[in-house]
Structure 1
Amino acid sequence: MGVTHKKVERAKIYLSSLVPFFYTKFYRYYQGRKIFAYILGELIPVVMFLYLYSHIDYKKFLLLWLFFWSIYEIGYFINDCVSVKKENISSIRVENQFCKHLNIILIFRVIVVLLLLWNLYKIVPILKLLVISFFLMSVFYVHNKLVDYSYRFLTLVLLGVLKPMFILYFFDVDISKYIFIIFPTLIVKYLDYLFAKKISSLDIRNSRKHNFWLFTGWGFILVFIDLKMVFIFLPIYTQYNKIFIYQKVKNAF
């Protein structure tokens, strides 16, 4: 049993270092519901936004998505192997075996980043890509260095905005529209972070009634601005309120 576990863990380390998003899948979104939440609440809305407001080049989108995760996960590596040791309330996500090979993993990941850059240099302005990548990594670096949670939430919100903006920046769209659409999710993530770090007693994730009215109210605001925004907001609304809606429907019958 132990040998099998070691082989599985070794395979996870190899895949996590070489394939973008695999680290997130294995160590961050390891539960099926978390992957579903990411797809429904983050990935689908971005695709819908591009489809409704611009011409979506799926090859460019896929390469940018892979490139984003290839560098974003470097921040995860540092956070989960180094920064977590400095936290008063730590969240151990990875086994020691992964962190023992961190230097080698980072080398492999840098090679992956360079290969993706090679494939992107004819598709997007490479200087802009490098600048926004540097800014993203700088924010993540500051986030990992901060120990005081009362300041760390600022970088958390900024990272939440940068995640969709990173891809949208290279398409002909108004990014501010998308940030406006997802604004309630930033509030929920911020409050959820404060609860997780025991700064606030409000468990917003499980306060389903609060979530429901927050997102419902925001949906009505979007109706009066642009119906396209409502369609993009629907999967986000569903993701954050699916349990509450299911319980209400179940109780009704």
Structure 2
Amino acid sequence: MYKQLKHLKDCIHVDKLMTEADSKDRLIHFYSILVDQGSSPIYLKMKNGHIAYLKELLILEEVFFCSDYNRAVIILNEIIVKYQSAIYQGRLYYGLLFLMERYLEDEISFILGKSTIPLRKIMEPTIFEYHIDEDNVREVLNKQIKFFSNMNDEDKKFEFRRFPEIIKKVVSNSISENQARKFDFLFEAIKIDLKTDPLTLLQHHNDLHSQHEIMRIVRENNFPFRSLASFYVNGAFYYLSDDKSAVVHSTKDYRIAMLLAINQIRGG
């Protein structure tokens, strides 16, 4: 992993004399290496919380939107230094690929070939594949033991309390058009997190109802509730529609609660 990380750092090094064109070339090279290296099936618990990476991705999204490629190179270097090998976890790895494909699609297709992005998406694994084979589930869980203990209710409450901080920054630092774009990006980034990060497997591998419910929620871009009230019972978030006709269980995963909260904000 050390050699992989060093190779990634070397290709995205910061140079005071680099032009925007130089930086764009480095970003595409970075993308190419990241794809070739692949993601890690091992989840590394970080001290600063699971969703902390969303703040970095939002900053990077703004920089890409403004086509400030020099700044993008600098921020990517900072992300690598901060997260180290955790950059290969699904939540960060696929979030970065998704972001670069959104804003550098033409350049990636031109330099690396038109089939690069479609093939990468076809090959993108989903953590739900592990549910097919119990041996795979057991293997991954065994590898996680020294890095991770299942999140307790207080951990989940803490993570969800951090989420309004991110929402507040989006609202306070953006005009309305940018807010909509950022919320859409957050929504997609969290869905990618749910689909690809082993934390999902760790939290739901023994609960068949939760597995099916997560897959349903991840597949759908919209929910049948325009305005929801949230409440927290026995370690799980629930959402109640205005007319009290329906309740959505968050499947004990704070990321599901975040998806529903974002969808409520954007009027989905």
The TM-score with structure 1 as length reference comes to 0.31
Higher relative contact order (CA 8 A, sep 6+): 1
Tell me which protein shows more strand as a share of its residues: 2
